[in-house]
A and B are shown apart, each in its own frame.
Chain A
Amino acid sequence: MVDTTSGEGHRGALPALAWKLVKIFASVALTFLGLLLVTFLIGRVVPVDPVLAVIGDRASQSVYDRVFIELGLDKPLYEQFWIYLQKILSGDLGTSFLTKKPIIDDIARVFPATLELATVAILIGTSFGIPLGVLAAVRQGRLSDQIVRVVGLIGYSAPIFWLGLLGLLVFYARLHWVAGPGRIDIGFEYSITSRSGLMLLDSAMQGQWGAFRNAFSHIILPASLLGYYSLAYISRMTRSFMLAELAQEYVITARVKGVAEWRIIWVHALRNAAVPLVTVVALSYAGLLEGSVLTETVFAWPGLGQYLTNSLQNADMNAVLGGTLVIGAIFVGLNLLSDLLYTLLDPRVRRR
């Protein structure tokens, strides 16, 4: 998102970079406000009566009226939104109907599992996606380009929950190459103390290599599948950025100077393509949150996605909206991060 007009009218008071940062943060704040408004309004159209959810359907009319007022439902809509806003900003997402705990605590408990899964997935996706994209760009129009393209399109087309089920069937049930659903075998579960909540990190730091191997064989299949999805996107974008760079004049100059071809590709061109690629990787990291909802359901992975679907199936609307809001906020945060990185890494944007 490069705004070509930014900074022009405001010169003098602040340097262009600072103005740009202020603008980015202001737009993020506004977007976040919008997120809150959307979740608030979704919460308002739920056919479930919020009063009945609290008191049950056998309470008397006077109890109903009292709770109705306690919940602030008699106030005008904008005032209710204001109260909602204050609650959210103080970190109160409400109480889960299912676990009877504050939703923010529930989410803090399950989030590391999702973070671990998504991080391993993005590592896999990036480390395969970028070389494949470079290969496709260098061999544009040839067979290897076509193969990379088809591999990517397959990644875009297969339902991830279906691939997950097939993966479990083949690699777990038939071939016994990987461990089954869940994060770790029960035998290892209490042998490591949870510090960061990331099993791989915790077990490695405590030198529990048996537990580490076990956790790794649990995570590798779901993370590879999720990673495949980001691979599809990353390799496609790498290809198009590399094609643009390889057509530049500095590449011709380098060739004329006699620089080795691998050096031109992997050092000169890729370095320039890397700036927009950072944005792409950040965005696909955010996209993994979406994929994780379905993947976690299939692999019984105790993360945010499974928490969300569990709450859905039990009509725990507070928890669903809390989870949606957290995922939306992370999404906005990653977008912000990619914008900032882009601004800081690309000298052309910085100067503007």
Chain B
Amino acid sequence: MSTREWLLTEQPASRRQARLGQSYRTWLAFRRNRLAMIGLGIVLALVAVALLAPFISPYNPIVGGDLRTERLLSPSWQHLLGTDDQARDILSRILHGSRITLLVVALVAVIATPIGLLVGTTAGYYGGWVDTVLMRLTDIFLAFPRLILALAFVAALGPGIENAIIAIAITSWPPYARLARAETLTIRNADHIDAIRLQGAHSARIIWGHVVPLCLSSVIVRVTLDMAGIILTAAGLGFLGLGAQPPQPEWGAMIAGGRRFILDHWWVATMPGLAIFVVSLGFNFLGDGLRDVLDPKAQK
């Protein structure tokens, strides 16, 4: 029996086989979606580039070359994407900038997802006034446009990549809380939850050990869908000078730096923008495909 047959069997012999088989079927459905596969490719490429940046960059991203002869060179074989006003190789800066982008996305996801999950499941599980208070709070945060609230937070905390990450995380969790609450409402009266309660489990244990895992997959899809938005918000903050500070090769800040030269040296601002565009397109394709595969409502 080949691995494929073992995975696709109608009568799995063990729980592990059933679970792996289910994942394999999801993967097969996902693989049929061409856009989603392109997205996955782009995201994997981003991770690879971020890991390998020091090895594959042809030049130093922070220290430029000779200011007299190597400033604002147009793209050529020496400098594939040209150089900026500090005679730095733009390709090397973009490759290193992928680390900042990945860091922002990863940290925001790691901070915002648990907050959203905790708030949403707690509200949904307890119901009553706990639910009212927590969801009112969520609505208040949803009432600000995200970039504007992040702007106000960064303005208060001071510019910098750490504060930008905190600000984006603070503004990202409310939709996850909404989603987790909706999921919890359908789960909380299930028989297995009642059984655990009868065994005397504490509410915190039920929420964290039994409700949260069931909400996780839909929240993760939502986070993936949001990642492009997170990247764009971070780039927007960088463009306004509130994110990563120079000489850090943050893509949004690089566009701001190249803005003065847009008419005569178009590549300085264009290339980092292209990087942002490709990466967020990748996350959007991936999230779109994931939703089609994992959302039972979309499957008809």
Contacts and interface: CB of A to CB of B under 8 A. Distances in A.
B158 interface: yes
A134 B241 CA distance: 40
Contact of A289 (B145, B156, B228, B281): B145
Nearest to A30: B136
A281 interface: no
Contacts of A35: 140, 143-144
A42 B155 CA distance: 9
B280 to A, nearest CB: 4
Contacts of B280: 156-159
Contacts of A31: 136, 139-140, 143
Contacts of A158: 273, 276-277, 280
A34 B136 contact: yes
Given A31-B140, A328-B144, A169 B266 contact: yes
Contact of A165 (B137, B152, B235, B269): B269
Nearest to B272: A162
Contacts of A324: 144, 148-149, 151-152
B137 A168 contact: no
Chain A contact surface mostly: helix
Interface string B90-124: 00000000000000000000000000000000000
B269 A162 contact: yes
A312 B148 CA distance: 11
Interface stretch (A17-25, A43-51, A113-121): A43-51
A55 interface: no
Given A42-B152, A43-B156, A159-B236, A331 B288 contact: no
B159 to A, nearest CB: 9
Interface residues of A, number: 50
B164 to A, nearest CB: 13
A293 interface: yes
B277 A162 contact: yes
B148 A293 contact: yes
Interface in A310-325: 312-313, 315, 317, 320-321, 324
B140, B228, B263, B285: most-surrounded residue (chain A CB, <10 A): B140
B156 A42 contact: yes
A161 interface: yes
B156 A165 contact: no
Point out which of A159, A286, A335 has the most chain B C-beta atoms below 10 A from its C-beta.
A159
Contacts of B239: 159, 161, 294, 297
30 contacts: A31-B139, A31-B143, A34-B137, A34-B143, A35-B140, A38-B140, A46-B155, A47-B157, A47-B158, A153-B35, A153-B284, A158-B277, A159-B236, A159-B252, A159-B255, A161-B239, A161-B255, A165-B255, A165-B259, A169-B266, A287-B145, A294-B236, A294-B239, A308-B148, A320-B155, A321-B152, A324-B152, A328-B148, A331-B143, A331-B145
Interface of A: 27, 30-31, 34-35, 37-39, 42-43, 45-47, 149-150, 153-154, 156-159, 161-162, 165-166, 168-169, 173, 286-287, 289-290, 293-294, 297-298, 308-309, 312-313, 315, 317, 320-321, 324, 327-328, 331-332, 335
Interface of B: 35, 136-137, 139-141, 143-149, 151-153, 155-158, 228-229, 232, 235-236, 239-242, 252, 255, 259, 262-263, 266, 269-270, 273, 276-277, 280-281, 284-285, 288
Q: Which 6 A-B pairs have the closest CB atoms?
A: A34-B140, A162-B273, A290-B145, A157-B281, A157-B280, A324-B152
Given A34-B137, A162-B270, A331-B145, 14 more contacts: A38-B141, A46-B155, A150-B35, A153-B35, A153-B285, A157-B228, A159-B276, A161-B252, A169-B262, A293-B148, A294-B236, A298-B259, A324-B148, A328-B148
